[in-house]
Structure 1
Amino acid sequence: MSTRDSIQDWLATDGHVWLHLAKTLLAAFIAMGLAMRFELPQPRVAMTTTFVLMQPFSGMVLAKSVYRFAGTALGMLAALALGAVFVQQTELYVLALTIWVAACTALAVRYRQFRWYGFVLAGYTAALIGIPAVTDPNSLLIATLMRGAEVMLGIVCSSLVSALVFPRHASATLAQSLDARRMRFAAFAADVLRARLSRIARERRFADFVDEIVGFEATRGFAAYESPAMRQDSATLAHLNSAFMDACTRLHALDQSMKRLRASNAQCALDALAPFLGELARAFDGGISCEQLECFKHTLPKRLRDAQLTLADADRATQLDFTTSGELLYRFVDDTIRYASTAHGQASNHESAARYEARTNRFVLGATFMRTAIVIAATAWFWIVTAWPSGGHAVIGATLACALASASARPAKFIAQMAAGAAGAIVAGYVFLCHVYPAIDGFALLCAALAPPLAAGAFLAMRADTAGYGTGSCVFFCLLAAPDNRIVYDPGLLLNNGIAIFVSMLGACLACAVVVPPRSPWLVGKTIAELRAQAVLACEGKLAGLAGRFHSRTHDLMSQLRGLLTRRSREHRHALSWMLVTLEVGQAMIDLRREARGLPAQRFPADLRLAWSMSLARVLRDVAALFRAPGDAALRRAIASVVASIVIAQSMLDHVRAERDARRDTQRVLACLHFLRTALVDPDAPFGSHR
């Protein structure tokens, strides 16, 4: 490899890391210098803001800045309002502040991604301003204005440095990731069609696509802040992600159908379908070509009818198996064409993008509120009762720990890492306060001295497995030991405040590990129940926009479960099974309701129309009941309802065999019902109590 290639490779990998570190330090030092020049009381707050805000991409910083600005303003207003209502009433003021912070933290869990940060800021900004003012209410207004100015200065510096100094745009990375995802999907589809992968391998690949779908939504959200063009394309990108979810679900349904045919030894149907599967697999070998797939789709219905003629002597079950699999194959090709067309900017203008809907279970929100309230209330109570001089810092430390860890699936581990980082920051702060600050003179030398510890913390914060250490190191070094306009050389005060913060974070860590931790079986079970409820939504929700709501909520909930559960564990496998069967049955119910609406009711006798209407209502009711409360009895009722509907649908088909359009519509309904029956009787499905 040449020197030039080596440099380019370094710039594309480790170079980005060093660039991000350099920009983070530059923003922090500019914020500190300007705060000193403007004679703000605590430049350390502006520095802390830059370390919390800086991200690798410009759009991420801008998005975070918008929500931080809004959250800070809301926190300032809350601090002023609570201070005015509970003036000179310390206990009531602290109680109201505890409820406010806990509510904001719970809302941050509900509204994730960068909206999370806005609610987090609204909570702990009120604490940062209000806690010191508990013992001095007269300083509340000035403290609020000064803290707001310092935070806004940090926001401005972070945004300008990110946007102007060697900016990296998420839109370029987004385009590359979309191309890579499309190629991975094509290769995976080819392997599935050729039956090359084991069941476990297929499930893992589908689960990986869940992470890509959710991650894409986050990237699309902050990329919209980078340019007007990206904001205009945001709806197209949302439609693209929706089309990808549909294509993945169709591929899974087709795979399940073929798996069940192989398990039931339906060799006649398999042999008749083999040429179509092989041809489609070859079309995916070189990627996804809209032209090839359009040609395949155009000829597929006639070829399927011709192939079905070879099964004329087969029994009715085999013919129904073939018809169902053929219908699934056609739907998969159709959705894949829509996905590829959207990716190439060829989506129809009349197609509206479904809004991605993220949802967090209300029990998770309640547990977050309860944990946060207990930690802050206990720390504040101890502070008030003992008149602990550093108790205010203990409350601030507990607040920051609960707020910053609320986005983590393992908050106890994250807070423990933050506590370790804070301990390192206390030691480093002591060294700087006693030996470094007295020995330096001038702003340039100050920046050079601060660079090593701050860069080390920022480097650790960039990696997921050490993010807690880096966050604790940077944030608490700035809050405890960063220089102010008027430095107080009091090591005892630094150690007392640092110990208070460290002890409060250990208490927060203990509370997060004991008080309904996110990974507790009860709470995971509630999230799985919310996941199952999406199949109920497919049965009972309004059809307008139902598919988009169903897919986005299901994938988002599974993404939450994948963060909570250990990969490749039995619990993770159980949750993944529920996700796949929810997607499978839910999509089948949506298809059934759509196709049933298009049936030519006037072509059937009145008694048959009435019987079909009643049987369809029973199917919707019993399948919804099965997902609300899974069990053997509910499963038997759902299967019986589907089988009864299949019998009625076959009678309807016999009445319209001579009418091509009516026959095709009825066959589609029958295919949906048959696929639904095979999904319910699948021995791998997690419905019954014995599974």
Structure 2
Amino acid sequence: MPADLNRLPPVLTRLLSGKHFPTIRAPGYARMSGLKWLYAPTPEALAFAVRTTVAALMALTIAMWMELDDPPWAAMTVWIVAQGSRGESLSKARWRLVGTAVGAISAVILVCAFPQAPWLFFPAISIWIGLCCMCATLVRNFRSYALVLSGYTCAIIALAATRDPDNIFMITMSRTTYIVLGITCETLVAVLFAHNLASSARRNMRQKIQMALGSATDAVANLLAGDEAAFIRSRALFGTILSINDQIEFSEVEMGPHGHEGDHARAALAAVSVLLSRGLGMMARIKALETRNEQFTETSLLTRTFLLGVPARLENDSEIPHIQQDLQDLRGVCRQRIIDALAHEISTTITTETAEVDDLLNCRILHNALDELLGELEQAIQEFDASQHEIRGDHFHFRIEAHRDFKEAAYNGIRAAVAIGASAAIWEVTAWANGIGFITMVAVTCGLFATRENPVVGTMNFLRGACWAVLVSGFLVLLFLPRPAEFEMLAAVLALPMIAGGLAARNPATAGAAASYCLFLPNLVGPGNQTRLNEIAYFNASFALLCSIGFAVLIFRAVLPFDNDEERWRMRNRTLHDLRHLASAQPMPRTQSWIGRNTDRFSRLIRHAGPTPTPTIEAYLQGTLSAMTIGLNIIRLRVVLERGQLPPAAHRAIELFLTRMSQFSGRYGRFGRTARVARGATRSLRRLEAAEANITSRIEMTRAIAYLLVISYELGANAAFLDASQPYRASDAS
């Protein structure tokens, strides 16, 4: 600051310094910055928009050259199939072919089965689309898309054949030709833009898994330092893990011929989820023991120092063997601490329970838990390394199981069936000239959004995009397209609006509306060889389109509408059912299945939470994570029993707890019997462990005590969440 300003009063000094004045910006700056995706797009967005526009115009040109009856469907297929990555586009194209084939066959069957019988024909289509939407809710990725596509493709073909059912085979072949043509053009143009696709796919997969590993190790390191908020910050990682798991499938498509790198990548992600749960279990043990162990403090400091350096070391492949060696050394330190504590306890002359004996046992419990945590990290790094190159003779397979909500699936199917049935009834009653188009677009909208967890949000954006398509196509139809008679001029007129739609599709804020805009723009313009859309046809088609989407929005709001509270209630009850199942199911459930289902539930909660989760959502997130940790420790307890190294009394104590857990009702009342039985089993094992002479049995009992400590602590700390007798609110946990 200049010396002259020091002589002025403090108020004038602050004013003249300029620090408290707002930044002066040009008028309309905020509005223009929101359009930056249009006037200053990223290179990736511009490349996507240009290549997809070229592919759409190429498909339209070929369809018109082939004298097909409805050429816009070829361009629409290009925009439907086009995705941000080649793996997504190829996967979607593959499943679109499957869905189209199933839908075409079902359309032929329905038209042939119910000729001139609309009151049988339309209910049959409604039931078919409802079944497709219901089944699509239970699967993931573009397999779900193939199922809904088979539903609305059946509607498109069957409804188009209502005016001429004798030509159903030719109509089916025509629609199938559009789809194959659109997929072929999109794939051909995209291949020209693709460069080093396989190596890029491997690099992207590596970066994503590396990011997940680095975030997890940072969270565990901060937790060992006493930062309990670290897990709150890292909870979003569960949603990221599920997203990365879905994207691995697309990376495998991009890699072409490959081994089992994708399976190892999924296994690495599952190990990261278990690692985070192990960290939560470590925090629970430290709180449950309510003591500070100097030896464990020293070991945890070594571990934290190592964990903080892992993300940077993962950048270099040559460092992975050294990381694994360091992990082995750290695990060796943990085991040596366990042996030292056990040897000191055996050599002591004290035969009764004292503070010193308890401290030695606590030292062994904590070091055993830390050893298992490091073992999980070692497994994750081993799978990460295996995902980077093909291994000869490798037959490894790994899939993460997803949460399935059968009630939600039934709701989606019923909602779609009601929408199609109601739109067909409107056409039958009114004899609307554009009724077929109305029903067709209702079927398309229901197919695209019926499987969404909250379809109302998606359909509103879809309606906005359709409005933009109507507006832009109006300018093209009424002002520009009456003049050109050559395809070159037609392509020049359509190119800029299509490129703008492609840019909007790559902008997250406008992607939902852009999907509708790009899909319906070619259809509303309606270019053809012998016909040109006139004003009356344009207004009728636009009105039918907007009415169909608006009608679908109305159905989604009125018929079994999505309810966040009800979904959380079902999810919580299902979690409690799964906890009971874990304790008694034969054969014993796999860890990866339990992790997959709970990770999916966790990511659903995060998606519905929004940018600022409510206290109830926050409590649900914590409760779901705790339930996952309880389940993992139940599985580990059963593994200890299966090894058969426990004395009969210890075996009975654990069996008693598992029997009680298999009857876990979730109705705590005033007592919380399951948590009380877990604490009783812990006390029994502590007494038995102190008197046991067999070293192997003592080590096994130490592990069992460590697992029971986590279970009893989490059952007590999350009693309100695990009480299924009443709806859960955040205030219940206070």
1 CA distance for matches of 2:173 and 2:224? 64
> Which residues of structure 2 form unaligned runs of 5+?
1-39, 312-322, 349-353, 727-731
- Which of these residues, 98, 101, 112, is aligned with residue 129 of structure 2? 101
1:183 aligns with 214
Q: 1:317 to 1:651 in 2, by over 3 A?
A: closer
- Which of these residues, 628, 637, 656, is aligned with residue 673 of structure 2? 637
Q: Which amino acid aligns with 1:43?
A: P
Q: Residue deviations 1:591-618, cap 9 Å, x none?
A: 10001111335xx4xxxx2x55554343
8 A Cα contact 1:519 1:564, kept in partner: no
2 CA distance for matches of 1:42 and 1:442? 18
1:4 aligns with none
2:571 aligns with 527
Q: Does 1:561 align with 2:590?
A: no
Q: Does 1:278 align with 2:306?
A: no
8 A Cα contact 1:62 1:225, kept in partner: yes
2 CA distance for matches of 1:351 and 1:544? 23
Q: CA deviation at 1:329?
A: 0.8
8 A Cα contact 1:251 1:332, kept in partner: yes
1:19 aligns with 47
1:384 aligns with 428
1:8 aligns with none
Q: 1:346 to 1:216 in 2, by over 3 A?
A: closer
Q: Which amino acid aligns with 1:365?
A: A
5 Å-filtered alignment, 1:369-408, equals 369-408=413-452
Q: Does 1:342 align with 2:383?
A: yes
Q: Please give the secondary structure, in 1, of the residue aligned with 2:721.
A: coil
Q: CA deviation at 1:352?
A: 4.7
1 CA distance for matches of 2:416 and 2:337? 62
Q: Residue deviations 1:657-681, cap 9 Å, x none?
A: 2x22222122222222233222222
2:108 aligns with 80
Q: 1:317 to 1:662 in 2, by over 3 A?
A: closer
8 A Cα contact 1:566 1:572, kept in partner: no
- Which of these residues, 51, 54, 64, is aligned with residue 36 of structure 1? 64
With structure 2 as the length reference, what TM-score do the two structures score? Answer: 0.85
Q: Please give the secondary structure, in 2, of the residue aligned with 1:287.
A: helix
Q: Does 1:56 align with 2:56?
A: no
Q: Please give the secondary structure, in 2, of the residue aligned with 1:103.
A: helix
Q: 1:511 to 1:464 in 2, by over 3 A?
A: farther
Q: CA deviation at 1:194?
A: 0.9
1:585 aligns with 630
5 Å-filtered alignment, 1:185-204, equals 185-198=216-229, 201-204=230-233
5 Å-filtered alignment, 1:322-471, equals 322-345=363-386, 352-471=396-515
Q: 1:190 to 1:467 in 2, by over 3 A?
A: same
Q: CA deviation at 1:623?
A: 2.4
What number of residue pairs does the alignment pair up? 662
Q: Does 1:660 align with 2:695?
A: yes
Q: Which amino acid aligns with 1:638?
A: T
* CA RMSD after TM alignment: 2.6
2:247 aligns with 219
1 CA distance for matches of 2:386 and 2:414? 47
> Which residues of structure 1 form unaligned runs of 5+?
1-11
1:677 aligns with 712
8 A Cα contact 1:90 1:134, kept in partner: no
Q: Which amino acid aligns with 2:298?
A: P
- Larger Rg computed on CA atoms: 2
2 CA distance for matches of 1:228 and 1:506? 42
Q: 1:456 to 1:651 in 2, by over 3 A?
A: same
- Which of these residues, 645, 650, 661, is aligned with residue 623 of structure 1? 661
1:497 aligns with 541
2 CA distance for matches of 1:68 and 1:110? 18
- Which of these residues, 325, 331, 334, is aligned with residue 300 of structure 1? 334
Q: CA deviation at 1:69?
A: 0.2
8 A Cα contact 2:423 2:438, kept in partner: yes
8 A Cα contact 2:576 2:666, kept in partner: no
8 A Cα contact 1:543 1:590, kept in partner: no
1:596 aligns with 641
Q: Which amino acid aligns with 1:632?
A: G
With structure 1 as the length reference, what TM-score do the two structures score? Answer: 0.90
1:572 aligns with 617
Q: Residue deviations 1:206-253, cap 9 Å, x none?
A: x21211211121111122212344453222222222222222221221
5 Å-filtered alignment, 1:132-151, equals 132-151=160-179
Q: Please give the secondary structure, in 2, of the residue aligned with 1:438.
A: coil
1:484 aligns with 528
1 CA distance for matches of 2:307 and 2:372? 16
Q: CA deviation at 1:411?
A: 1.4
Q: CA deviation at 1:363?
A: 0.9
Q: 1:687 to 1:619 in 2, by over 3 A?
A: same
1 CA distance for matches of 2:221 and 2:595? 23
Q: CA deviation at 1:394?
A: 1.4
1:3 aligns with none
Q: Does 1:171 align with 2:202?
A: yes
Q: Residue deviations 1:72-114, cap 9 Å, x none?
A: 0000001000111111111211111011112112222211211
